[in-house]
Amino acid sequence: MMAQTDSSETPLLEVLNLRVEFPTRRGTLVAVDDISFDIKPGEVLGVVGESGAGKSLTGTAVINLLEPPGRIAGGEVRLKGQRIDNLPQEKLRHIRGRQIGMVFQDPLTSLNPLYTVGYQLEETIRTHMNMSEGQARKRGIELLSEVGISAPQDRIDQYPHQFSGGMRQRIVIALAVCANPSLIIADEPTTALDVSIQAQIIDLLKRLCHEQGTAVMLITHDMGVIAETADRVAVMYAGRLAEVGPVQNVIKQPYHPYTKGLMGAIPTVGQKLERLTQIDGAMPRLTEIPSGCAFHPRCPKAFDRCDTERPDPIAVEESKVACWLYDDARVLSGETEQ
Ligand X SMILES: Nc1ncnc2c1ncn2[C@@H]1O[C@H](COP(=O)(O)OP(=O)(O)OP(=O)(O)O)[C@@H](O)[C@H]1O
Q: How far is the CB of 107 from other proteins (least distance, A)?
A: 9
Work out what residue 125 binds among ligand X, ligand SF4, Mg ion, none; the CB cut-off runs from 5 to 8 Å by kind.
none
The answer to the question of residue 306 lying near ligand SF4 (CB under 6 A) is yes
Residues 6+ apart with CB under 8 A from 93: none
Which one among 79, 293, 314, 316 touches ligand SF4, defined by CB under 6 A? 293
Nearer to other proteins, 111 or 251 (CB): 111
The amino acid present at 101, given as its one-letter code, is G
Task: Give the interface segment with ligand X, choosing from 53-61, 155-163, 245-253, 260-268 (CB under 6 A).
Answer: 53-61
The answer to the question of residue 296 lying near ligand SF4 (CB under 6 A) is yes
Nearer to Mg ion, 218 or 302 (CB): 218
Residues 6+ apart with CB under 8 A from 161: 113
Work out what residue 257 binds among Mg ion, ligand SF4, ligand X, none; the CB cut-off runs from 5 to 8 Å by kind.
ligand SF4
Strands, E, within the chain: which ranges?
13-24, 27-39, 44-48, 71-79, 82-83, 100-103, 183-187, 215-219, 232-237, 240-246, 314-316, 319-321
Nearer to ligand SF4, 41 or 297 (CB): 297
Task: Give the interface segment with Mg ion, choosing from 48-56, 178-186, 220-228, 277-285 (CB under 5 A).
Answer: 48-56
Distance from C-alpha of 324 to C-alpha of 15, rounded to nearest angstrom: 23
Distance from C-alpha of 69 to C-alpha of 41, rounded to nearest angstrom: 32
Q: How far is the CB of 165 from other proteins (least distance, A)?
A: 7
Which one among 35, 44, 57, 125 touches ligand X, defined by CB under 6 A? 57
The end-to-end CA distance of the chain, in Å, is 22
214 and 176 Cβ atoms separated by less than 8 Å:
no
**Hey, is 116 helix, strand or coil?**
coil
Residues that bind other proteins (CB under 8 A): 63, 65, 67, 89, 93-98, 101-102, 104, 106, 108-116, 123-124, 127-128, 159, 161-165, 167, 172, 175-176, 179
The answer to the question of residue 137 lying near ligand X (CB under 6 A) is no
Burial of 126: CB neighbours in 10 Å, binned 0-12, 13-18, 19+: middle
**Hey, is 180 helix, strand or coil?**
coil
Work out what residue 114 binds among ligand X, other proteins, Mg ion, none; the CB cut-off runs from 5 to 8 Å by kind.
other proteins
Full strand arrangement of the beta sheet holding 13-24: 27-39, 13-24, 71-79, 82-83
Task: Please work out the total of residues on this chain that contact ligand SF4, with binding judged by CB under 6 A.
Answer: 13
Rounded to 10°, the helix 165-177/117-128 angle is 10
**Hey, is 34 helix, strand or coil?**
strand
Which one among 13, 38, 46, 54 touches ligand X, defined by CB under 6 A? 54
The answer to the question of residue 56 lying near Mg ion (CB under 5 A) is yes
For the beta carbon of residue 235, count every other beta carbon within 10 angstroms. Answer: 26
State the Cα angle at 117 between 114 and 121, rounded to 5°: 115
Nearer to Mg ion, 56 or 214 (CB): 56
Nearer to other proteins, 27 or 88 (CB): 88
Which one among 13, 18, 22, 320 touches ligand X, defined by CB under 6 A? 22
Residues 220 to 259 in contact with ligand X, rule: CB under 6 A: none
Return residues touching ligand X (CB under 6 A): 22, 29, 31, 49, 51-57, 70, 286
Write out the residues near Mg ion by the rule CB under 5 A: 56
Report the interface residues with ligand SF4, using CB under 6 A.
256-257, 293, 295-296, 299, 301-302, 306, 311, 323-325
